[in-house]
Amino acid sequence: MSLETLSENRSFGGTQGVYRHRSQATGTDMTFGLFLPEEAQHGRVPVLWYLSGLTCTHENAMTKAAAQEWCAEAGIAIVFPDTSPRGDDVADDEAYDLGKGAGFYVNATQDPWKPHFQMWHYVVHELPELLSDNFAIDRDAMGITGHSMGGHGALTIAMTHPERYRSVSAFAPIANPTESDWGRKQLTAYLGDDRAAWRAHDSTVLMTERGYPGEILIDQGSSDQFLDLLKPESLAHAMMARRQPGQFRMQPGYDHSYFFVQSFMADHVMWHAERLI
């Protein structure tokens, strides 16, 4: 796959790049951000995947999450994929929570979404292969995190493929989408009416059925304006019932914004670094 460099900027001794390539998974051009620490000039480095939330592109977390400083300190890379396919021929919806910017990290099986909305395959398979072929990242030392819809994606992907991801965390994840309006609408559109197909994309269900072999870190703001949609209590209860190792932290006064993400980004980066290095 050919790779086009859109920009590269010096950042905390490393390089923050933005790149574009033609994706076989989505059938579209896809753009992603990648920060490489200085250590990548001398060999392969661990990589942290950051999956963004509804309405975001690769750029939101890249510019707002304040991750580069901490990744440079830890000596790990961080990649910011887009949240959906883009292009004039890509299906969309007038609502912000379906279509472009709202891929939900699933492989759609229903029209009109099926031809392009293959975000699970893109994030789990295609983009990691592209990165390892073109950059000094170590595919045997990968962690994954995300915010909101991206937290949902990070948790479900890690619990489904624990052999690929040595660490996992999440910021305010959509924790029980099969029982939320942030989930039932999108899973019906992308996967159809069979609720059995939805279960693979619900972190509360996956926690109940299989859990994760390592520890999990989750931060949730107590003043998050979307608590009723996120349903953090469902996942917290499932973690307790399974006796899942890890931490579920309710942070007093924090909302759903990137100010919340910034406030705890250092904790998350160092959490992953301890498990990847």
Closest to 59 measured CA to CA, from 32, 35, 37, 77 = 32
> pLDDT of 2-59, one tens digit each?
899 999 999 999 999 999 999 999 999 999 999 999 999 999 999 999 999 999 999 9
Catalytic member of 148, 169, 180, 234: 148
Number of domains observed in the structure of the chain: 1
The domain in which residue 16 lies consists of 3-274
Q: Are 18 and 35 in contact (CB under 8 A)?
A: no
Catalytic member of 116, 147, 201, 256: 256
Q: Check if 52 is active-site.
A: no
With 80 as the cut, is the pLDDT of residue 81 above it?
yes
**Mean pLDDT over residues 233-238, rounded?**
98
Q: Check if 256 is active-site.
A: yes
> What CATH code is carried by the domain that includes residue 187?
3.40.50.1820
Where does the pLDDT of residue 125 fall: very low under 50, low under 70, confident under 90, or very high at 90 and above?
A: very high
Where does the pLDDT of residue 1 fall: very low under 50, low under 70, confident under 90, or very high at 90 and above?
A: low
Q: Check if 93 is active-site.
A: no
Q: Are 221 and 255 in contact (CB under 8 A)?
A: yes
User: What Cα–Cα distance (Å) separates residue 1 from each residue in 20, 22, 90, 122?
Assistant: 10, 7, 21, 13
pTM beyond cutoff 0.85:
yes
Catalytic member of 169, 224, 234, 272: 224
Looking at residue 154, its pLDDT comes to 99
